[in-house]
Amino acid sequence: MKDESPKELTSIDDYARRHCERTAEYATIFARALGLPAVELRTLRLAGLLHRVGRFGIPDDILRKAGPLSADEFEVVKHQLNIAAHLIVDVPNSEEVRKVLQYHHERWDGGGYPLGLKGAEIPFLARVLAIADAFSAITLDRAYRGALPQSAACSELNRVSGTQLDPRLAPAFVEVIGGSRTGAYREAPALPRRLTASYTR
């Protein structure tokens, strides 16, 4: 029987699949350590698995470009958020999943998109996903560079803490991932109460 699946769905590259799976996994591990409720763990896992779905509408030559994107190309990439919002409908807690995806490209310093939100203006779960997304991307092979070891990825998260990433969540993520095993959700260590009690949502 002829495969009539949409071209975009049958040509997902291995990097995208692994990145989404690992982003979802890291976000879930961290959320467990933060003591978040089950509904938020489920929202983060779905958001991690689906956070690249909007890229189906972005031309391959832009997505696979090895060098920096031009300003015009970057504007095209930003449309992935609108595409994702229209595609994510029949999933559990779809409104919250869309909200996480819509804002996980915002930056703590206000330099992100789509709205330029700053600090605690960024939804809490979007801040969590942004960290997991960054860590996954750094530790996977890309067309233009090899994967970095976890130690280097942790150093990079600490470096951009307070500019790109939440300055309390990023170091806490490093602490959690340093003491957990990928794929073992039940073994993610809980953060000390001194860390979990003060997070601003």
pLDDT digit string, tens, across residues 85-125: 777 777 888 899 999 999 999 999 999 989 999 999 999 99
Helix residue spans in the chain (DSSP H): 7-10, 14-34, 38-50, 60-63, 71-78, 80-87, 94-103, 124-138, 150-159, 169-177, 193-196
Is 80 exceeded by the pLDDT of residue 145?
no
Return the CATH number of the domain spanning residue range 13-196. 1.10.3210.10
- Cα-based distances in Å from 99 to 17, 75, 117, 191: 22, 20, 13, 26
Tell me the domain boundaries of the chain.
13-196
Cβ pair 133, 100 in contact under 8 A: no
Q: What is the pTM of this model?
A: 0.79
pLDDT digit string, tens, across residues 27-59: 999 999 999 999 999 999 999 988 877 666 666
